[in-house]
A and B are shown apart, each in its own frame.
Chain A
Amino acid sequence: MITMVRELRAAPELLANLTRREVKGKYKRTVLGQLWSLVNPLAQMIIFTAVFSFVLRVPIPTGDPSGLHNFAVFLLCGLLPWGFFVNVINGGMDSLVANENLIKKVAFPRAALPLASAFSLTLSWSIEMVVLLVALTVLGAASLLWTPALVLVMALLFAFAFGVALLLSVANVYFRDTQHFVGILTQAWFYATPIVYPTSLVLEQSEKIGSLIGSWTLYDFYRLNPMERFVELFRSLLYDNRWPPLDSTLYCVAWALVALVVGAAVFRRHEKKLAEAL
């Protein structure tokens, strides 16, 4: 991993230019341009709020101590990080296959491709988060004060997502099924993460069922999901305006580290064979 970091640090322009290519190329020839990156989460917010808040009437907790009680921002605190996570995975998976020509003809640090894709997505995610912060402030929450902690948690999610993306980018070179498989997996994962509903609903059901294996309840299994913990972190900071629980924070740090180390190791091992395998 250290060699990988050194290689990438030696080519800051490459990263910057590849990122620029992603950002500029993505919304070229659209009327709304970069605004599209905001339109998508906004549309999702409207749809999910209509379905889950208006029709299904999912109960949400009141922010403590912020006092917020608003489904739309409750949703966005989970939806925006989730959207970023999925986009980084998909972008990373695509990055090697889509740049086959480049990999076969030019020598450069290959990790720059998934990284540039992740960077460009970080940019649009950051804009989304700023808009969310403004909305939260308008609604009367003190979320702005938590910005420094928020940036750290965002960095943590970046590390986790990028690690997974590195792993999957290589997997997708060898098995093109990966992207289709991941498409289904992320769909299931989305509903296994408390984005459109609060965790408390799962806890209620779990208590009705009792323990499943040994003393493990459904809720314990549910909480193994690292994205569940990440959403908890984001909601604590933004929706509740308080420090997230320490155990969940450590759990996220551990997952981010493992993903990054494993992802980098796998990528490193296969990097030199990419030109042949593609």
Chain B
Amino acid sequence: MSEAAVTVDAVTKKFRVYHERNQTLKAAVMRRRRSVYEDFLALDDVSFDIPQGSTFGLVGDNGSGKSTLLKCLARILYPDAGAVRTRGRVAALLEVGSGFHPELSGRDNVYLNGSILGMNRDEIDRKFDAIVDFSGVEQFIDQPVKNYSSGMYVRLGFAVAIHVDPEILLVDEVLAVGDAAFQEKCTEKFVEFRRDGRTVVVVSHSMPSLRNMCDNVAWLSHGRLVETGEAKPILERYLDSTRTDTTTDQDGAVRWGSGEARIDGVDLLGASGSASSFRTGDEVTVRIRYTAHERIENPVFGLALESHDGVYLWANNTRDLGHRIEAISGTGSVDCTIPRLALQPGSFQVMASIVDQSTTHVYDYLREGARLNVDFGTPVESGGYLALDGRWS
């Protein structure tokens, strides 16, 4: 167990970012010089070991180099300096169904894809039934795959890939394929992989699935290794860091944004004025009080609701609802009225934001704008978050 399945040794990978690329002969001849480019360090001197039998996650923001690293492990890309050493057969699930020929039957494609992934004929013969069974497309296996639905296509591709039986499996966010039943099959297969003492390396953005699966992780940022080791503490620290401009104000509220406008508070208004407790079915008005330090054209106000255990339940913003606000300056407020509160009793978190018209630039985002407590009202239903007023007949 102590021996490393994969050793990443001082791996550096440069990409050329072309400002003007001579991809046509004309461009090369006309400019009579080499392409203009800058080197971009996608991976900068990254070293770590992936222990045998572990499930290892690579985390980091977009562009942190984790996918590049995975491709280096898969030997699709080659590092400019340093080396990747792997012990055992490697299979990469970077994209499923690549290499399928649409006009060929599912059966032919299983053989084609299997051999591209490095299986020989006997091996595919032996596993053929298991592959088809796993994919759930038995009935259509002799049909050309172009007649498959996209789900069937992906399932068949995934089924082939997962039956390569590698000692080291590299996975890039393909866990999210297929319906719930198929996902369950995949999860089972990964568990089986781990039981067999195989090594799995995963790149994913899904924190919950990483937290569930991984023993160890490596955290990359801008091509550099931040830290590597046991999964849980590093994932926590990574999550904390994802909001670099997050601040905690004097009231203890967590917020981020550029600050041209600020949310001063979020009030919950019922029939009898400001309150924090409501009943299911009540009318609630959410008022966002703000101060704009400068004139802001076309701002977009948004609200979101989370359950006490962090489930994202609802969001609503002025742009999507067609409520255009010309401009704001100084202090003011906007109201959002909810005619009937369709929530089961419980405690909820109201989040508020002011963003620009494209909703990509955040002026201010207040995480815990208000706490909304809900008591029994009408309708009274059995459980969950939502009170949808279901009727039996």
Contacts and interface: CB of A to CB of B under 8 A. Distances in A.
A207 to B, nearest CB: 39
Contacts of B144: 28
Contacts of A101: 95, 98-99
A215 to B, nearest CB: 36
A267 to B, nearest CB: 15
B74 A107 contact: yes
Interface in B250-286: none
B76 A275 contact: yes
B65 to A, nearest CB: 14
Contact of B116 (A20, A29, A108): A108
Interface in B16-51: 22-26, 28
A272 interface: yes
Contact of A174 (B23, B118, B120): B23
Interface in A171-201: 174-178, 181
A107 B164 CA distance: 13
Interface in A29-50: 29
A185 to B, nearest CB: 13
Contacts of A13: 115, 119-121
Given A272-B78, A275-B71, A275-B76, A29 B98 contact: no
A43 B189 CA distance: 55
A102 B71 CA distance: 13
Given A11-B115, A17-B115, A175 B94 contact: no
Contacts of A99: 99
A18 interface: yes
Contacts of B22: 175
Contact of A106 (B24, B92, B119): B92
Contacts of A273: 78
Interface residues of A, number: 31
B308 interface: no
Contacts of A20: 108, 112
Given A25-B104, A106-B98, A181 B25 contact: yes
B78 to A, nearest CB: 4
A269 interface: no
A107 B76 contact: yes
B15 A25 contact: no
Interface string A70-104: 00000000000000000000000000000101111
A106 B77 contact: no
A26 B117 CA distance: 23
B361 interface: no
A29 B95 contact: no
Prevailing SS type, chain B contact patch: loop
A106 B98 CA distance: 8
A203 B23 CA distance: 42
Contacts of B98: 101-102, 105-106
A57 interface: no
A21 B74 contact: no
Contacts of A178: 25
Contact of B25 (A16, A28, A175): A175
Contacts of B236: none
Given A105-B98, A176-B23, A177-B26, A24 B116 contact: no
Contact of A102 (B25, B99, B104, B119): B99
A276 interface: yes
B101 interface: yes
A175 to B, nearest CB: 5
A17 B119 CA distance: 11
B75 interface: yes
A273 B79 CA distance: 10
B111 A105 contact: no
B103 interface: yes
A68 interface: no
A177 B103 contact: no
Contacts of B120: 13
Nearest to A99: B99
A24 B104 contact: yes
Interface string B76-106: 1110000000000010101100110101100
A14 interface: yes
Contacts of B92: 105-107
Nearest to A174: B23
Given A101-B98, A105-B95, A272-B78, A24 B108 contact: yes
Given A275-B76, A276-B77, A105 B94 contact: yes
A270 B121 CA distance: 30
Contacts of B104: 21, 24-25, 28
Interface in B110-144: 111-112, 115-121, 144
Contacts of B28: 175
A174 B98 CA distance: 23
Given A177-B24, A181-B25, A106 B99 contact: yes
Of residues A14, A17, A175, which shows the largest number of chain B Cβ atoms within 10 Å of its Cβ? A17
Contacts of A104: 76
Nearest to B111: A17
Interface of A: 11, 13-14, 16-18, 20-21, 24-25, 28-29, 99, 101-108, 174-178, 181, 272-273, 275-276
Instruction: Report, nearest first, the 10 A-B pairs whose CB atoms are least far apart.
Output: A28-B103, A177-B25, A105-B95, A13-B115, A107-B75, A272-B78, A17-B115, A14-B115, A105-B98, A105-B94
12 contacts: A14-B118, A17-B115, A21-B101, A25-B103, A28-B104, A102-B99, A105-B94, A105-B98, A106-B76, A175-B22, A175-B23, A275-B71
Interface of B: 15, 22-26, 28, 71, 74-78, 90, 92, 94-95, 98-99, 101, 103-104, 108, 111-112, 115-121, 144
Given A17-B116, A21-B101, A105-B76, 19 more contacts: A16-B115, A17-B111, A17-B112, A21-B108, A21-B112, A24-B108, A29-B103, A101-B98, A105-B94, A106-B74, A106-B76, A106-B94, A106-B98, A106-B117, A107-B76, A108-B117, A175-B28, A181-B25, A275-B71
